Amino acid sequence: MEQDGSMNLSKMNFDVSEEQALMLEQIDAACKEFRPIEDRYYLDRKVNDQVRPFFAKAHLLGLPVSRKYGDGQGADMVTYALAIERIGREGTGVRTFFSVHMALGEMTVQHWGTEEQKDRILTAASRGDAILAFGLTEPNAGSDPAALTTYFEEKGGRYVISGQKMWISLGSSSKYVLVFAYPKGKREGMCGFIVDTKSPGYRAEMIHHKLGLPTADTSTVYLDGVEVAKEDMLGPPGKGMSVALSGLMNGRFSVAAGCVGVIQDCLDESVKYAGVRFQHGKPIGKHQLVQRHIGLMATNLEAAKLLLLKAAFVKQKYEEDPTNLGLRDATDLWCARAKYFAANASFDAANRAVQIFGANGYSFEGRPARHFADTRVTMIYEGANEIMEQKLALGALGKGFEAYS
């Protein structure tokens, strides 16, 4: 099933415009300035509440948003990928903020929202006045979102939502959460909603003691009769699953980009260290078994980046032709390929970087240990590895070979 046969690599061009290149330079500068702030929060193991104000001031919270709205930067998908890759080098905690707010949030509202929703939500989101989160997962609905039990009913011209969401990034620090729910008493007709976290009945509790991502807000969300205005349904009635799946596709693309950044940072740190750490009378970079780690990391970096860029190229075509279902399916497949490969390669790179640093790699004072703890989640969220493997196989086997429906 080669849905995108016309898009072979020889026809691709990953150049970014001069204006977009300037934006990438601005992101690089902002990331350098932000690093010591994130370092401090990481070592204190505290959620970094400076991401929003810092990057809002730099006008970098609306990268994929059309210039029509607020601080929207109108980044094309290649530029977006390169931007998130750069942010990913700073760590998966900071990068998760961007992926959730921009890919799961802004891109999804931009695709599915009404003109009024886009104007209201994207204007505020791109300026950092309203951070967006994505509430799909529940205690008993993870890889199988169709199993969710959050429900809504219509009362007095409004929707009233009740249920519990689990593992929601930015659940405690966002202004709006995209929430998915079934009509009360039904197991079909899922709908998406834009829920204001200031509404009565919305409560979020941070999840502590995580394996990694100490600087990221991950929360349990309780919805106890939360009222939502009629105009805050996201997407057509009954199309909530399509909205959710398109959000996850955006999220996977962003995770893939962040993971490329992690591999890059692990490689950069390892190359530096291998040149200055001496054992047995020479820099460890001259020992062939250490070279093996570095060579594999460097090769995986290039492979992950090419997959990401191809996903970006295909996704850009889809953004320009959003009703083309063939392009949608191709984008879904390429985003899954890029995310799967980059997630695994980022964890492998972090593991190799820890090994190259020896005992110094075992301390959170250094970057390898943080990447090792933090990037592990990329093999779980936005579609766990096993779910991605089924998607990759379906891409080769074709329709009729779905592992589940």
Ligand X SMILES: Cc1cc2nc3c(=O)[nH]c(=O)nc-3n(C[C@H](O)[C@H](O)[C@H](O)COP(=O)(O)OP(=O)(O)OC[C@H]3O[C@@H](n4cnc5c(N)ncnc54)[C@H](O)[C@@H]3O)c2cc1C
Active site residues: 382
Q: Is the CB of 51 or the CB of 314 nearer to ligand X? A: 51
Rounded-to-integer distance, Cα 193 and Cα 357, Å:
47
Which residues are bridge partners to 203 per DSSP?
222
With residues binned 3-state (H G I as helix, E B as strand, rest as coil), the percentages for the chain, rounded to 5, are 55, 15, 30
**Please, what is the minimum distance in Å from the beta carbon of residue 234 to ligand X?**
14
Q: Is the CB of 20 or the CB of 137 nearer to ligand X? A: 137
202 phi, psi to nearest 5 deg: -95, 125
Q: Is the CB of 141 or the CB of 266 nearer to ligand X? A: 141
Rounded-to-integer distance, Cα 320 and Cα 135, Å:
27
**Please, what is the minimum distance in Å from the beta carbon of residue 9 to ligand X?**
30
Q: Rounded to an integer, what is the distance from CA 138 to the centroid of its chain?
A: 18
Strands (E), 113-217: 132-135, 151-155, 158-169, 176-183, 191-196, 202-206
Calculate the dihedral angle through the C-alpha atoms of 319, 72, 83, 38, rounding to the nearest 10 degrees. Answer: -140
Rounded-to-integer distance, Cα 264 and Cα 301, Å:
7
Q: Give how far Cα 228 sits from Cα of 111, 152, 356, Å.
A: 20, 10, 52
Query: Which residues touch 179 (CB under 8 Å, ≥6 apart)?
Result: 135, 150, 161, 165, 192, 193, 194, 195, 223
**Please, what is the minimum distance in Å from the beta carbon of residue 135 to ligand X?**
6
Rounded-to-integer distance, Cα 82 and Cα 68, Å:
22
Query: Which residues touch 266 (CB under 8 Å, ≥6 apart)?
Result: 297, 346, 349, 350, 352, 353, 367, 368, 371
Q: Is the CB of 264 or the CB of 378 nearer to ligand X? A: 378
Q: Is the CB of 100 or the CB of 260 nearer to ligand X? A: 100
End-to-end C-alpha distance for the chain, whole angstroms? 19
**Please, what is the minimum distance in Å from the beta carbon of residue 84 to ligand X?**
16
**Please, what is the minimum distance in Å from the beta carbon of residue 104 to ligand X?**
7
**Please, what is the minimum distance in Å from the beta carbon of residue 167 to ligand X?**
4
Binding site for ligand X (CB under 6 A): 100, 134-137, 142-143, 167-169, 213, 218, 377, 380-381, 384, 386-387, 404
Q: Which residue is nearest to ligand X (CB)?
A: 142
**Please, what is the minimum distance in Å from the beta carbon of residue 378 to ligand X?**
10
